[in-house]
Structure 1
Amino acid sequence: MKYRMEWTYQTKKKKQTVLSTEYLPIEDVITFADDFIQTGRVKNLEILSEDDVTWTLKEIKKLNEIVKDEPHEIYAYFDGGYHKATKLAGFGAVIYYTQSNKKYRIRVNASVDGITSNNEAEYAACLFLVNLFEEYGISKQSVTIKGDSQVVLNQLAGEWPCYEEEFTVWLDRIEATLKSCQLKPVYEHITRKENHEADKLATQALNGIEIKSKLLVSEELNENE
């Protein structure tokens, strides 16, 4: 979950105006709010979360103490591939998150049968990623989901309709899992090059290479681990 601030700013000559910020991580909100208040020119500072709940700075600091040891600041990637000859689908998912003031990366892949096309593999890969949120206890916050399938992401965002019943089933399952975890998704279409981690994991799954890893992002990232 991210937060933005609104406050009344008063000049030395007592002129006032209302200012606001963009949505920020909770740690940044606390840092900026404390700094703003120290100027002595801030009145009626309010903090609003993405779900339109209003917080005081004291409440936000208390909340931060609670959530800092839980996964937050989530952004994740997915990709799906399909091998027509073997009729196998490969999924790749990468999740970045912050926990206890440290940043982590999870990489997981899998291969399954029963998928009939590369298009269906993309929907299934997105569900694979969303199921990982549930597995790793990621809930009650916003998550940014990135992929190179514009169709899947735009349909999930409600910007494009889905006319194929077999794909609607996947969309319904994705949305149901997100709702169950109380997650607010933000969908972002990226290029295949930008999605290289998830793409490589999906390809490795098709080649029988299974990967499931978690590490600190400050460590050297070795995609062959």
Structure 2
Amino acid sequence: MDVRIEYIYQTAKGVQTTFTSETMRVAKAILLAEDIEKTGRVKEITFIDDQDSTWTIKDLRKYMKGIETEAHDVTVYFDGGFDIDTYTSGLGCAIYYQQNGKSYRLRKNALVKELNTNNEAEYAALHLAIQELEFLGVHHMPVTFIGDSQVVVNQLTGDWPCVEEELNRWADRIETKLEALGITPEYRSVSRKKNREADHLASQALNETEITSTIELNQ
């Protein structure tokens, strides 16, 4: 979950003003708020999430304690590749998350043969990633999905219409799955260069190199 900090600051002479921070992850917000409190000049600190709900620092600590053993702070990179000569598709995803105070990266790819276009492959790669989130036990939290397909990202955010019947079915399938898991998605479009890891996984799948791995990352 991402939140922003709002607090009332008071000078030694009693002059007050309100500060609002940028949006950040809960763990970072708690750390900064604790440091701000040490100044002794903060009268009130509240946290506001992306649903405009307000939290106290006590509430946020309880929230973090509750999800500590679950995968959280999840970011997903996804990409799909399509070989028009063989009508095969390579799907790839890389999932970064926190669990039990540690950072992890999960990589997964798949080779599929029932798709007909590159856009379908992109949607299928995202669907593969969501399946992996379900296996991880991710539920009822925000997740950031990053891909280099403007079609997928803009259609799922509603910025572009989804008029192709097959793509519309993929979009419905994905939205239904996310709703069932209680996942609130945030979609971001990046260049292929910035999506290199997922792109490479998709290419490996097309070359029939299967990848399924999870590693702990150094902090």
Answer whether TM exceeds 0.5 for this pair. Answer: yes
Q: What amino acid sits opposite 2:87 in the alignment?
A: K
- 2:10 is the alignment partner of 1:13: no
Deviation at 1:128, TM superposition (A): 1.3
Q: Which runs of 5+ in 1 are unaligned?
A: 220-225
Partner of 2:189: 189
Moved more, 145-154 or 28-37: 28-37
Partner of 1:63: 63
What's the C-alpha RMSD, in Å, of the aligned pairs? 1.4
Q: What amino acid sits opposite 1:119 in the alignment?
A: N
Deviation at 1:2, TM superposition (A): 1.3
Partner of 2:101: 101
Partner of 2:78: 78
Q: Give deviations 1:84-140, integer Å, cap 9, x for gaps.
A: 232211100000111122111000001112101112111111111122111211122
Q: Using the alignment, how far apart are the partners of 1:60 and 1:125 within structure 2?
A: 33
Q: Using the alignment, how far apart are the partners of 1:91 and 1:146 within structure 2?
A: 14
Q: Using the alignment, how far apart are the partners of 2:98 and 2:43 within structure 1?
A: 31
Partner of 1:177: 177
Q: Using the alignment, how far apart are the partners of 1:53 and 1:47 within structure 2?
A: 8
Partner of 2:201: 201
Deviation at 1:6, TM superposition (A): 1.1
Residues 47 and 57 in structure 2, CA contact (< 8 A), matched pair in contact too: yes
TM-score w.r.t. the length of structure 1 is: 0.92
Deviation at 1:52, TM superposition (A): 2.4
Deviation at 1:75, TM superposition (A): 1.0
Partner of 1:118: 118
Deviation at 1:38, TM superposition (A): 1.7
- SS of the counterpart of 1:194? helix
- 2:149 is the alignment partner of 1:149: yes
Residues 8 and 19 in structure 2, CA contact (< 8 A), matched pair in contact too: yes
- SS of the counterpart of 1:69? coil
Q: Using the alignment, how far apart are the partners of 2:44 and 2:200 within structure 1?
A: 50
Q: Give deviations 1:51-84, integer Å, cap 9, x for gaps.
A: 2222111121122112122111111111111122
Q: What amino acid sits opposite 1:136 in the alignment?
A: L
Q: What amino acid sits opposite 2:209 in the alignment?
A: I
Q: Using the alignment, how far apart are the partners of 2:140 and 2:25 within structure 1?
A: 15
Pairwise mapping of residues 47-58 of structure 1 onto structure 2 (< 5 A)?
A: 47-58=47-58
Partner of 2:44: 44
Q: Give deviations 1:149-197, integer Å, cap 9, x for gaps.
A: 0111011111111111111110111111111111111111111111111
Q: What amino acid sits opposite 1:181 in the alignment?
A: L
Q: Using the alignment, how far apart are the partners of 1:208 and 1:18 within structure 2?
A: 57
Pairwise mapping of residues 124-139 of structure 1 onto structure 2 (< 5 A)?
A: 124-139=124-139
- SS of the counterpart of 2:193? coil
- SS of the counterpart of 1:154? helix
TM-score w.r.t. the length of structure 2 is: 0.95
Number of corresponding residues: 219
Q: Using the alignment, how far apart are the partners of 1:28 and 1:199 within structure 2?
A: 30
